[in-house]
Structures are given as structure tokens and as C-alpha cells.
Amino acid sequence: MKKGLLIAGLALFGAAAQAQDLKPVAGDVTTEFGLTGGINATNFNLNDNAGMLRFRYFQKENLAFRLGFNVSSNNDKTNVYGTTAPFLGNKGTITESGTEVMINLGVEKHFAGTARLSPYVGADLIFGTTSGKIETENAISTGPGKGTYANDFFSTNKLASTTSFGLRGVIGADYYIAKRLFLGAEAGFGFAYEKDGKSEISTTTGGVTVTDKHKSAGSNTSINPSIITGVRIGFAF
């Protein structure tokens, strides 16, 4: 009987010790990926962080610093063709390109939770920029991915860039499904400021170029909840 109790006690102790190894400790680094979400190359959204690659450094078992970033770009070329004589079948092109960069820097305070669950609160500083351009050659753009053939017509449309800053408080949790392998979810409440830059359109017809410059369209400020609607998966190493 005593032998059986001793074996059971050792088994429970071993299970507890194994459970303690699930979570990261001081000096560990975690990396994670969002399983849903995405970045639109022409729009910065404080709430859209699910697609970010994030690293965390645990200074202590219950204190972590985090860095997240996402860089996206697109370059789409559309061919258009003349439909009437004398330009029937002649080709023009419309090239649309854009880049977005999003970076967040923050800190997390973790609580005891359970052997597998690690709840936390934290705060983030967020910075983002976007830029875009539409270039045409023997074509006129009539909308995203659309246009018509226009002989001897060239244009460069430098879209207004944006610069964004944000501050956000967060609450979240990581659940360790295996040793140092976790799934996570997060939500928060944030402040964001976004300012539009200048734009410029240059057109060339018959060798004559005309440039039209536009000042900034302004800025906007928002205070709203931010919810990552997907699941993050990551591991500690």
C-alpha cells in the first residue's frame, strides 16, 4: 500500500515538473505567427495585427518585451488593348504598386494562470507607413486593375502616403499545447493617429509633360477597441 502511494506520489511530482517546463523562463525568446488577417498595401489599420510576425524576450518568467512587424508590397501589371482603328490591338500597360510597413514595440506582464495557461496584460507603441504609385504607358487607368488604351499617353500617379502612430493597451493569453509550444489570442483598446502625405500626378502627351501636385488631405485620430480575430501560434526557444 505504502509502495503504491509512493509510486503515485512520484508520478504526480513528475507530471508537475514536466508541466513547469511548458512555459518560457527568464532569457527565453518566443516567436509567433498570426494564422489569420492580412495587410492591405493601401490602408493602415491599427486593429489588423493578426498577420504580424512577433518576437518576445522574457527578462523574467513574468515579464516580456515584444517586437512585431509586417512588411507587405504589391506590384500588379494590367495590359489593355486598342479596340478601334488605327490602334486596334495595340497594347498599353497599367502598373500599380504599393508598400506597407507596420512595427509595434511593447511590454507584457504575465500572471500565474495554470500549468498551461499564461494570461497577461501589456501595452504597445505602433508605427506604420504606406506608399503607392500607379504608372501607365499608352493607357488611362479607370480604376483598380482597369483601364483603356490611349496612344502616346503616359502618366505617373504618386498616391498620398500615410504615416501612422498608435498606443494600445492589451490583454491576452497563451495556452501551451506542448512543451513551449503555444496558441494565443489577444484584444485591446488603442489610440491611433494617421496623417496623409502629398500626392503628385505627372502626365505626358505628345512629348509635353504636365505635373499636378496636391497638398496633404489631412489627418484623422481614432480611439477604439482592437481585437485580433484569429489565433496566433508560436514557440519558445
Q: What is the pLDDT along the chain (237 residues), one digit of tens a residue?
A: 544 443 344 344 344 444 457 899 999 999 987 765 443 433 333 334 545 788 999 999 999 999 988 888 999 999 999 999 999 999 999 999 999 999 989 999 999 989 999 999 999 999 999 999 999 999 999 988 899 999 999 999 999 999 999 999 999 999 999 988 999 988 888 889 999 999 999 999 989 999 999 999 999 998 887 666 567 889 888
- Annotate 78-97 with DSSP letters as a single string: EEEE--STTSTT-EEEEEEE
What is the DSSP secondary structure assignment for residue 23, as one 8-state letter?
A: S
User: Reduced to 3 states, what is the DSSP secondary structure of residue 69?
Assistant: strand
Residue 156 phi, psi (nearest 5) = -130, 120
Length of the chain counted residue by residue: 237
Is the separation of the CB atoms in 185 and 231 below 8 Å? yes
- Please list the helix, strand and coil fractions of the chain in percent, rounded to the nearest 5, in that order: 10, 65, 25
* pLDDT recorded at residue 8: 43
* pLDDT recorded at residue 230: 63
How much is the pTM? 0.75
Find where cell 498599353 sits: 92
Is the separation of the CB atoms in 124 and 49 below 8 Å? no
Going by C-alpha positions, the residue among 183, 179, 170 that lies closest to residue 33 is 183
CA atoms within 13 Å, Cβ hemisphere of 164 = 28
Q: How many CB atoms lie within 10 A of CB 14?
A: 10
Is the separation of the CB atoms in 125 and 103 below 8 Å? no
Is the separation of the CB atoms in 159 and 135 below 8 Å? no
Find where cell 518585451 sits: 65
User: Reduced to 3 states, what is the DSSP secondary structure of residue 6?
Assistant: helix
Is the separation of the CB atoms in 49 and 39 below 8 Å? no
* pLDDT recorded at residue 71: 87
Q: In 91-108, which positions are buried (b, 16+ CB within 10 angstroms) versus exposed (e)?
A: ebebbbbbbbbbebebbb
* pLDDT recorded at residue 32: 86
